[in-house]
């Protein structure tokens, strides 16, 4: 009887009275007004004379503040100031079926990726978007080794992306090497810089490690920007050679890919070829990562992620473990950078700002650290979401931020938080016990 009364009293005190809910909603609306006034209410644009002109968008500001007021008022009446509990059932439902979903989702996504050039052959926009998504999937899988498996927070991953891109561009333009020769060289050079980064941060953890890696990324960008005699400075490097199909260039003329195979020339041939190239590189990254996770070095990464002190007490060389994690992640980032350079045909330091590192890290964290499938799903959702809200350029970052906050509240370990263990212990076999 007392328990029933206590439960009913708790339920009764969950919702706020009308006056208290109205007060909370007004306070939330006031905070929203202060946040959105300069972001949404005022807009600066270039006027006819070249000077900045301030325009107002008070109608949009009023709508946003009104939405915050109504949402906060409804929440206070229904849930009070307690955490919203209905989201806790969703992660449990997804987590319990993650293995089953992943068993079918992986092959389904792979099959769809193989058919994209066939289904959307006449849609150049979707083909380019598919190449972009696969590039970030490869970057996400590379950073997943460092962050998801080894537990090392890296905010300067874009530095290896830039090293790979500039390595390919310089080798191809100055020495005339082909794409297939420059591709592994770019990965090796990026891995070398990954080891160079690993040495200074061997004793750092957490926030200190993140600050140092962030500084490393900015140092690389500033070097590329100011070393004009070597990197071209802010002008970048142009006329980067394109890859060929076994020596057949994608040109309209004699000796080209289309004429040799008896096809009608189309610029889409090169785009489809690049799509399958980045798909093969991404699948190679995934395969190597899965194989490494089953090796002793992969298990050492996961042990260091869980507890570095316990890992060291077991006799694992954490120095080599950290360096191998940085080197492998950097190598895949460098290969992705080389592909980016040959796809664009032009690179500059502006393409390797901190925002790229933040985007790749967000893909890894939101997808689920250590989850290969989660990274692929997060890359598809984030980049596809950016393109979906391209018409709402002023609001898409607001929607993106809201989505990230929602996932961190209801799925704090990422979209796909569960994954198969790297090693299964065999069942102990002993003498069968006779029944008593």
- The residues, any chain, with a CB within 8 Å of residue 402's CB and separated by 6 or more, are none
Picking from 271, 242, 237, the residue whose alpha carbon sits closest to that of residue 346 is 237
Q: Two tokens at 325?
A: 């994690």
| CB-based contact 116:127 (threshold 8 Å) | yes
pLDDT at position 338 is 93
pLDDT at position 436 is 44
pLDDT at position 100 is 60
* Domain residue limits, the chain: 15-82, 98-234+267-410
Q: Two tokens at 32?
A: 């929203």
CA distance 58 to 148: 43
Helix axes 372-388, 98-119, angle to 10 degrees: 50
pLDDT at position 12 is 43
CA distance 289 to 334: 16
CA atoms within 13 A on the CB side of 112: 11
Per-residue pLDDT of the chain (436 residues; tens, 9 = 90+): 444 444 444 444 466 688 888 888 899 999 988 888 887 888 777 777 767 788 888 888 888 889 889 988 888 887 777 766 544 444 444 545 555 666 777 788 888 888 888 888 888 888 999 999 999 999 999 999 998 888 888 888 999 999 999 999 999 988 888 888 999 999 999 999 988 888 888 777 777 888 888 888 889 999 999 988 888 888 888 888 888 888 788 887 777 777 777 788 888 888 899 999 999 999 999 999 999 988 888 888 888 888 888 888 888 888 888 889 999 999 999 999 999 999 988 999 888 888 888 889 888 888 888 788 888 888 888 888 777 767 666 666 677 777 777 777 777 666 666 555 555 555 545 555 544 4
pLDDT at position 136 is 93
pLDDT at position 395 is 66
Q: Which residue has the tokens 């270039």?
A: 46
The CATH number assigned to the domain with range 98-234+267-410 reads 1.10.3470
pLDDT at position 394 is 62
pLDDT at position 8 is 44
Angle at 21 between CA 19 and CA 25, to 5 degrees: 115
pLDDT at position 38 is 81
pLDDT at position 14 is 60
CA distance 273 to 243: 9
| CB-based contact 370:145 (threshold 8 Å) | no
Helix axes 396-410, 372-388, angle to 10 degrees: 150
pLDDT at position 248 is 82
pLDDT at position 99 is 55
The region that residue 253 occupies, defined by phi over 0 for left and psi between -120 and 50 for alpha, beta otherwise, is left
Give, rounded to a whole angstrom, the gap between the first and last alpha carbons of the chain: 46
Can you give the chain as a three-state secondary structure string? CHHHHHHHHHHHCCCCCHHHHHHHHHHHHHHHHHHHHHHHHEEEEECCCCCEEEEECHHHHHHHHHHHHHHHHHHHHHHCCCCCCHHHHHHHHHHHCHHHHHHHHHHHHHHHHHHHHHHCCCCHHHHHHHHHHHHHHHHHHHHHHHHHHCCCCCCCCHHHHHHHHHHHHHHHHHHCCCHHHHHHHHHHHHHHHHHHHHCCCCCCCHHHHHHHHHHHHHHHHHHHHHCHHHHCHHHCECCCCCCCECCECCCCCCCCHHHHCCCCCCCHHHHHHHHHHHHHHHHHHHHHHHHHHHCHHHHHHHHHHHCHHHHHHCCCCHHHHHHHHHHHHHHHHHHHHHHHHHHHCCECHHHHCHHHHHHHHHHHHHHCCCCHHHHHHHHHHHHHHHHHCHHHCCCHHHHHHHHHHHHHHHCCCCCCCCCCCCCCCCCCCCCCCCCC
CA distance 321 to 401: 34
Q: Which residue has the tokens 């077991």?
A: 314
Pairing of strands 52-56, 42-46: antiparallel
pLDDT at position 140 is 92
CA distance 359 to 140: 9
């Amino acid at each position: 009887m007392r328990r029933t009364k206590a439960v009913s009293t708790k339920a009764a005190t969950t919702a706020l009275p009308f006056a208290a809910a109205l007060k909370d909603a007004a306070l939330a609306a006031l905070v929203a007004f202060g946040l959105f006034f300069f972001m949404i209410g005022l807009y600066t644009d270039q006027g006819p004379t070249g000077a900045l002109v301030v325009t107002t968008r008070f109608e949009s500001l009023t709508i946003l503040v009104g939405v915050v007021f109504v949402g906060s008022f409804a929440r206070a009446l229904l849930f009070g100031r307690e955490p919203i509990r209905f989201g806790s059932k969703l992660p449990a439902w997804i987590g319990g079926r993650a293995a089953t979903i992943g068993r079918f989702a992986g092959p389904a996504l792979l099959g769809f990726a193989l058919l994209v050039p066939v289904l959307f052959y006449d849609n150049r926009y979707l083909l380019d978007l598919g190449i972009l998504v696969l590039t970030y999937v490869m970057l996400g899988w590379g950073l997943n080794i460092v962050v998801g498996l080894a537990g090392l927070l890296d905010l300067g991953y874009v530095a290896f992306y830039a090293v790979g891109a500039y390595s390919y561009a310089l080798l191809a333009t100055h020495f005339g090497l082909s794409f297939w020769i420059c591709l592994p060289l770019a990965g090796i050079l990026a891995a070398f810089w990954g080891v160079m980064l690993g040495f200074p941060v061997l004793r750092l953890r957490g926030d200190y490690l993140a600050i140092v890696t962030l500084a490393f990324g900015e140092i690389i960008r500033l070097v590329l920007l100011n070393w004009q005699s070597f990197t071209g400075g802010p002008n970048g490097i142009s006329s980067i050679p394109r890859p060929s199909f076994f020596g057949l260039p994608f040109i309209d003329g004699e000796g080209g890919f289309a004429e040799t195979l008896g096809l009608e020339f189309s610029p889409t041939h090169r785009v489809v070829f690049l799509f399958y190239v980045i798909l093969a590189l991404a699948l190679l990254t995934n395969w190597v990562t899965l194989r490494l996770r089953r090796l002793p070095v992969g298990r050492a990464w996961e042990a260091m992620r869980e507890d570095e002190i316990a890992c060291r007490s077991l006799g694992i060389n954490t120095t080599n473990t950290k360096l191998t994690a940085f080197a492998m992640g950097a190598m895949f980032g460098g290969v992705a950078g080389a592909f980016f350079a040959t796809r664009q045909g032009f690179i500059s330091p502006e393409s390797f700002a901190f925002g790229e590192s933040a985007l790749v890290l967000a893909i890894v964290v939101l997808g689920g650290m250590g989850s290969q499938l989660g990274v692929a799903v997060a890359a598809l959702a984030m980049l596809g979401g950016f393109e979906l809200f391209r018409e709402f350029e002023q609001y898409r970052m607001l929607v993106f931020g809201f989505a990230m906050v929602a996932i961190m509240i209801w799925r704090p370990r990422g979209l796909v938080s569960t994954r198969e263990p790297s090693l299964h212990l065999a069942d102990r076999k002993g003498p069968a016990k006779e029944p008593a």
